[in-house]
Every structure is written in C-alpha cells, then in structure tokens.
Structure 1
C-alpha cells in the first residue's frame, strides 16, 4: 500500500463510518478496486484509521463530553451490550466478515428498511435519551455486528423506534461510536497488528509486549498516521453534512444508495471478482 492508496481508503472510511451506509461494504469495494485487499496491512489499516474518525466526534461535540456524569452513564449503559456480545461472539463476527455475500445482502435489506423508516417512526419526537432507551439503543447497535448492517443505521433506527427524534438519535449514535469503536479497534490492533492476547497485557508480559512492536515498520506507521489524519478531517465534514441532510430530508436517499451498492457487490461476486477485506 502506498500513501495515495492510504489516503483514498481513509477518505472512504471518513465518509461512510457515521452514515447509515456500512463502511465495511465501502472498504471492501475500495480495497478490491485498488488491488490491495489481499495485503496484510490493509485489514490492519482499515481498523486503525477508525481512531481518526472517533476523534472527529470528540472534537465536533467536545462540549457534550463535558456535560457531566449523566452523559457518561448513558454511554456506558449503551456500550455494555456491544462489549459483552462482541467479546463472546468475536470469532463468529470475524468469520462473517469473510463473507462478502452477507455484506451485500445486508446492504440491500438495510436499504429497503431505510426507504420506510421515516414513515414508520414519524411519531418520534423525543429530544432526550433516557437511561432505559440508552441501554436499548445499545442492544440495537449489536445488530450491526452482522457485516453490512451499519452501526450507525442500527443505533439510529433503534433510537427512533423508541420515540427519539432523528437528530437526537443520530447524535447519540455518534457519541456511542466513541467507546464502541475505540474498544473494538484497540482489541483488533492488539490482536492482529501486535499479535498479542489481552491476557499478555493483563499479566504484564513485557517481553512479549516489547517483541510485538518489532513487527511494525516505519512505512506502516507512516501510512497509519496519514490515514488517521485524513479520516479525521473527512469524518468531521461527513458528520456535519449528515446531520443537516438528515434533518431536512430523512433516510430515503441513503436507502436507495445502499440498495445500489449491494447490487454492485452482488454483481461483482457473480463475475468472480475476488472481494476480501
């Protein structure tokens, strides 16, 4: 992977991570079109640049993160389901990621849902997320462990089904992304990039920890830095666009887009194109 490929992938990540369109599907297509989907660094890179996207939320909404413990209690309640289920089903989720067919089908199914979600939940007017709803939104987020569903779509639709209005549900989805993506990305990096187990860190196995960092090259670090910076900038723009667009027009356009993308993936699979991420 070169610098320009890293920037292009980071742009894709930044644009799609917080939109209800599945960043996984986009990363698969982008890496396949660039011919880098088989490189070991690609999977590691795709996970690492999520840190840049996470930082964009903190920077844009920094005042919210200074609100007090009530804000963090709700985030913790919403995060717990993903932490528990994600840890227990990690191998199952990784296996599903190998199936681009699942990603494509979920894109189409999720797209159909987005075509009607505004009508189904037109009654959703609440501008605050209660403790109970925070936990339930966290459960909805777990549906996105199925690749192609979209973490953003699952949590926003979950919030709207509970009576939370579109803007509030979308912003809570952004906030929830911070602990969820931070935990998932950190775990993947420790395991896939450094080759460590959590037990090695908990046991303070300094020999293993020190040796693990020797696998990272200067070129890899450069790509990861470039990718995080690009993902950070693009994600900030994407979040601002999404909130404005969602408030005015709703989800229907994203639904059509998901369906089209899913059909593209299915067509590529039918043509025998090797799609892996």
Structure 2
C-alpha cells in the first residue's frame, strides 16, 4: 500500500463512518478496485479497522461536553454497547479471517440494509416516541445494541446504518437515532480497534505505522466535517437519500466489478 492509497482510504473512512452507507463496505470495495488484497493481507485488514480511531476522535471532540457530563446518556450507551462487545469478542476470528474482505457479502448487505432503512425512514420515523437518547428506556437501548452487533459480523451492513435502523425501530426520531449512532461508535470502535491492534501488531510491516498515522489523520479531518453535515441532511431530507445510494452502489459494483 502506498502513501496515496493510505490517504485515500483514510478520506473514505472519514466520509463514510457516520453516514449510514457502510465504511467497511466502501473500504472493501475501494481496496478491490485499487488492486489491494484486503481478503488476504493481514496488515491491510488491521489498517481498515484501526483508522476508525480517527473518526472516533472527531465525535469525541464534537460531543465532549455530553461525554463528560451526561450520566444518563452513558447508561444507554453502555447498555447498547454490551451486546456488540459480546458478539464481537466471540466471533472475532470468524469476522477477521473468514468474512472480512468478501465483496459479494458487502454488496448484498449494502442493498438489503438500504431497503430496510428506506422502509424505516418512511414507516417508522414519523411515529417516533423519543426525541432524545436520554428518554430511551434501557431495555430499548440494549435492543439497539443487538442491531449494532449485526454490523460486527456482516461487512457492508454499516454500523451507523444498522444502529440508526435500530433506533428508529425502538421509537427514536431521526436526529436522536443519528446522534445515538455517533455516541455509541466511541466505545464500540475503541474496543474493536484496540483489540485488533493488540492481536495484529506483529503483522505490521516496516513503514506500517506511518501509513496508519496518515490514515488516522485524514479520517479524523474528514469525519469532523461529515458528522455536522449528516445532522443537517437528516433533519432536512431524512435517510432516504442514503438508502437509495446504498442500493445504487451495490448494483453498480455488482455489474461493473463482479461480472
């Protein structure tokens, strides 16, 4: 992997991590389009996981007051985090060694979750019962975590997308569902990236840490802009544009790259 490829992958991570369109799916498809062997390269697999730390820093900065002061929000974040942590820990080897890197899985997940997100945006969002994360009962928060655990197993699902889908399903409005996906990303991705780096540090080649630093920086800068943009788009347009984009991307990739 060259420095330009690391830079480009970092930008794509920052642009897609908090949009409900699957950062892992985009990184998988982009890696294949660039000729990078994500399916078999241990360092590249760790790279696409670890650069999520840059996106985490963007949310920590934007929501720093809530993270420091809002105990009620933390209760719900932790309740949602536990199911994902359990699934990710138990299935880590399966995800890393068998599932990650399979572009046909990504294409299928992009399309199907796009359909579900479109349905939820039209049928559920207008019947929302909760306008803020702190209004959500802990049981429903844990259920959102069950939704999120699907993203840990199936690349292309989109952690953000499936979490938003879960939030709409339990009664959050569009903005609250998006913000819950942002906040829940912090413990989820810290655990995932930290655990993967501990397990995979020996796979880093010479110069690997420099490439990782470049990817982290570009992911941080682009994610800082994307989070603010997404909230404005969601309030004005809902999630339908993201759902259509997911389905269109899946079809285009299947027709162009998987023939």
Query: TM-score scaled to structure 1, two decimals?
Result: 0.85
In 1, distance between residues paired with 2:231 and 2:30?
Answer: 25
Residue from 78, 81, 85 that aligns with 1:79:
81
- Residue of structure 2 in register with 1:99 after alignment: 102
Question: 2:29, 2:103 within 8 Å by CA — same for their partners in 1?
Answer: no
Displacement after TM superposition at 1:37 (Å):
2.8
Q: In structure 1, list runs of 5 or more residues that go unmatched.
A: 196-214, 272-277
Alignment of 1:223-238 (within 5 A): 223-238=211-226
1:256 maps to which of 244, 251, 259: 244
1:137 aligns with 2:144: yes
- What CA RMSD, in Å, does the superposition of the two structures yield over aligned residues? 1.7
TM-superposition CA deviations, 1:188-236 (whole Å, max 9, x none) = 11112336xxxxxxxxxxxxxxxxxxx553x212111111111001001
Alignment of 1:116-131 (within 5 A): 116-121=119-124, 122-128=126-132, 129-131=136-138
**CA deviations over 1:108-138 (Å, ceiling 9, x no partner):** 1111222222221110141233322221111
> Is the contact made by 1:28 and 1:37 (CA closer than 8 Å) also made in structure 2?
no
The aligned runs of 1:15-54 (5 Å cut-off) are 15-37=15-37, 39-54=41-56
Matches within 5 A, 1:166-205: 166-194=174-202
Structure with the greater alpha carbon radius of gyration: 1
Residue-by-residue CA offset, 1:18-47 (whole Å, 9 max, x unaligned) = 111011221022222222235543222111
Alignment match, 1:158:
166
Q: In 2, Cα distance between the equivalents of 1:96 and 1:222?
A: 27
Residues 1:194 and 1:167: Cα distance change in structure 2 (over 3 Å): same
Q: Distance in 1 between matches of 2:163 and 2:42?
A: 31
Cα distance in structure 2, aligned partners of 1:119 and 1:149: 19
Shift of 1:62: 0.7
- 8 Å contact kept, 2:84–2:146: yes
Cα distance, 1:96 vs structure 2: 2.2
**Relative to 1, partners in 2 of residues 1:85 and 1:170: Cα closer, same or farther, differing over 3 Å?**
same
From the superposition, tell whether residues 68 and 110 of structure 1 become closer, same or farther in structure 2 (CA, over 3 Å).
closer
Quote the Cα distance in structure 1 between the aligned partners of 2:146 and 2:76.
Answer: 13
Which residue of 1 is the match for residue 5 of structure 2? 5
Deviation at 1:69, TM superposition (A): 2.9
Runs of 4+ aligned structure 1 residues displaced above 6 Å come to: none
